[in-house]
Amino acid sequence: MDPRLAQLLQMTSLYGTLAKYYEHIDPKLHMYFYELHFKYENQLVQYYWQLHEQNPNMPNR
């Protein structure tokens, strides 16, 4: 797997998990981690499609 893609997957997962954990415990921390999750999720999708354009044999799904 591409190292940058792996890193973005890891960060997206980490911040998504933390956002979910704090959802009912601390709304401010929930939003803090959700915003980070969303940021890395967007980067992940953009990077995935960039790799896909460079290598059309990658799976679409």
> Contact 21/34 with Cβ under 8 angstroms?
no
pLDDT, one tens digit per residue, over 7-56 is: 999 999 999 999 999 999 999 999 999 999 999 999 999 999 999 999 87
Alpha carbon 23 to chain centroid distance? 18
Reported pTM: 0.86
> Contact 4/47 with Cβ under 8 angstroms?
yes
Residues with Cβ < 8 Å from 47, sequence gap 6 or more? 4, 5, 8
Q: Is 40 exposed, middle or buried (0-12, 13-18, 19+ CB in 10 A)?
A: buried
Question: According to the model, what pLDDT value does residue 26 have?
Answer: 98
Predicted confidence (pLDDT) at residue 61 exceeds the cutoff of 60: no
Question: According to the model, what pLDDT value does residue 57 have?
Answer: 78
